[in-house]
Structure 1
Amino acid sequence: MDKTFEEILAELQAEKEKKAELNGLDSTSKTSIWLGLFKVIAYVFFNFMQAANLHLQEIRDLIANQKVFNLRRYRSEALRFQYGFDLINESDQFKPTYEDNGIDVIATDEEIENSKIIKYAACNRVIDGGRAKIVMKIAPAILDDIFPAQVMAAVAKYIEEISPAGDHVTIINYLPDILKFAFKIKYDPMVLQADGMNIITAKYPVQEAIETFLKNLPFNGELSVQRLETAILAVDGVEDLQTLQIQSKWIDPAQNGYGFYQPVNMSVLPASGRFKIEDFTGLQYVA
């Protein structure tokens, strides 16, 4: 149901041409009565289709946002969290006010927006010990940071209050996974220096390409080794590439910090939802 007004009018005219008894209706004048009627009819059909498409989209939106807790709903609820605001009694909606010296103050749009501190969220369903649970990964606007304990206590209480009884939700608030690599890069000495610096711009385009690649990954997005290699090979001055090693490590609660580096053979999902690079010493340039 995506026809244009012109397409509908053309179909009406085509149907007229099939009727021999209407051959006399052949005037192309702008004031032609039959053409005017066709335009009115086409306009009615066109507006009906537009209204039908709008109604269909509204139905789709209602279905997508229905009050059924699925992974998409959990993610949207995490992003909706307002730090410093409480829920209305017997409701999953936040109060539009906050208390100041015993007085309820109506929050401004800016205060409400600033209270939405969870900027990244991703949810997965996993089986742990034969029991299904929801793993919710969250992060603040600055991806290298994590939320402090008092914030996490508020988030945990909020999720507990809005989630259905019986759902087991684990909230992940980890520092970024650390990515470590070793690449041997054949470079063009007319464009790059032996340390990878661009001769003209004095920048390090391979490093920038890797950082841009990670930045463009969606939160909790899978890192593909092949796609990372493609991003490096696209850098001006890079002629060839050999991947020697790619590893990552993440926060391991059992060790109260980062665990040991693990090899990345083809792809990997970050335990924290995102990656971080501590250094670029693994880049080797050969002419």
Structure 2
Amino acid sequence: MARTISQIQDEIKTAIQARSELADLTSTSKSAVWLAMTYAIAVVVLTVESLFDLHKSEVENTLSLLKPHTQRWYREKAKLFQYGYSLITDSDLYDNSNLTDQQVEDSKIIKYCAVNEAVDESRLIIKIATASSTGDLEPIGPTELIAFKSYMNEVKDAGLTITVTNYLPDILFLDMIIFYDPLIFNGSGETLLGGTKPVEIAIDKFLRQLPFNGVLQLNLLAETLRMIEGVEIPHIVKASSCWINPSIGGYGDPVTIDVYKIPESGYFKVNDFSQIKYQAYEKSV
């Protein structure tokens, strides 16, 4: 960005003062020749820097028009959406000059986003979620969704079809047998000291730490549970999940997960741990 004439002139003066052979240039009179020369040079430098700024802007604008946008670009654009604010005319940018940093941050309601190409047709699927006050992932509201879709239609490439997925979490069902050390746990999965339920806590934490739209791998979940003190064998008998089906307006029937699963909504949640059974592990002597 081009500097001001005063900034450029001050740098020239500083350079002059550092040269012993120019020590006699001390006059501060407005008519001093050496000051007039520094001003003239500053004007020339400003002109050159302004031309470079203009050239850079023209090149960036040309590239933005010619370069095909990637999935990463769409993901970042989605997260830059500012609820309640309009874009600059004929632009995909916001004018935040009159907003504080906190106002800008508060308006960016899309906290999680993943972009994929649909295999059956030429369109992009954009999965989004926001964060609740407790940090839980959740969909944005209906009015917010309308505004977000309008924003994406403004910034997307012409002719591209976009499908926005803004679902409640996929519900994960876990039918498990936890073989436990009776010196650590009781038959309800509670620790003898403290009365907490480490298995349920660990499952919730594991799902929270999955990347948005990340892969749930059952073997990694089992390994995580095996790390808990007192858990001898975490046996996953069956795992399944269900998600919002737009055609029926609600959750569909659970579908078995054999090895891994990418959540349709982008994230999982366990509503019920009742299918997790606890059985004392009988160690051989």
Report the TM range for the smaller structure's normalisation: 0.7 to 0.9
Q: Distance in 2 between matches of 1:145 and 1:226?
A: 26
Is the 1:125–1:132 contact (alpha carbons within 8 Å) kept by the matching residues of 2?
yes
Q: Percent identity?
A: 37
Q: What whole-Å deviation, never above 9, does each CA across 1:104-144 have from its counterpart, x for those lacking one?
A: xx22111111000100000001123xx22100000011245
Match of 1:210 in 2: 203
Is the 1:191–1:199 contact (alpha carbons within 8 Å) kept by the matching residues of 2?
yes
Residue 148 of structure 1: which of 138, 141, 148 is its match? Answer: 141
Match of 1:35 in 2: none
1:155-194 aligned within 5 A: 155-194=148-187
- What SS does structure 2 have at the residue aligned with 1:87? coil
Give the unaligned 5+ runs of structure 1: 1-61, 98-105
**Structure 1 segments of 4 or more deviating over 6 A?**
none
Aligned residues: 214
Match of 1:80 in 2: 80
Shift in Å at residue 69 of structure 1? 1.1
Q: Distance in 2 between matches of 1:231 and 1:147?
A: 31
Shift in Å at residue 212 of structure 1? 1.0
Q: Distance in 2 between matches of 1:150 and 1:241?
A: 43
Q: Distance in 2 between matches of 1:144 and 1:217?
A: 12
How does the TM-score come out when normalised to structure 1?
Answer: 0.72
The structure-2 alpha-carbon separation of the partners of 1:144 and 1:79, relative to structure 1 and needing over 3 Å to count, comes to closer
How does the TM-score come out when normalised to structure 2?
Answer: 0.72
Q: What whole-Å deviation, never above 9, does each CA across 1:215-268 have from its counterpart, x for those lacking one?
A: 110000010011111111111101113221101000000111000000000000
- What SS does structure 2 have at the residue aligned with 1:127? coil
Match of 2:27 in 1: none
Q: Distance in 1 between matches of 2:137 and 2:245?
A: 17
Is the 1:217–1:223 contact (alpha carbons within 8 Å) kept by the matching residues of 2?
yes
Q: Distance in 2 between matches of 1:208 and 1:144?
A: 17
Is the 1:144–1:276 contact (alpha carbons within 8 Å) kept by the matching residues of 2?
no
Q: Distance in 2 between matches of 1:137 and 1:220?
A: 8
Shift in Å at residue 201 of structure 1? 2.5
Match of 1:16 in 2: none
Q: Distance in 2 between matches of 1:176 and 1:243?
A: 21
Q: Distance in 1 between matches of 2:101 and 2:209?
A: 29
Q: What whole-Å deviation, never above 9, does each CA across 1:128-182 have from its counterpart, x for those lacking one?
A: 3xx2210000001124532122111111111111111111110000000000011
Amino acid at match of 2:85: F
Amino acid at match of 1:169: I
> Structure 1 stretch 163-172 or stretch 145-154: which is displaced more?
145-154
Residue 245 of structure 1: which of 215, 238, 243 is its match? Answer: 238
Residue 266 of structure 1: which of 246, 251, 259 is its match? Answer: 259
Q: Does residue 108 of structure 1 match 2:67? A: no
Q: Distance in 1 between matches of 2:271 and 2:278?
A: 19
Residue 116 of structure 2: which of 109, 124, 130 is its match? Answer: 124
Q: Distance in 2 between matches of 1:201 and 1:79?
A: 41
> Structure 1 stretch 200-209 or stretch 174-183: which is displaced more?
200-209
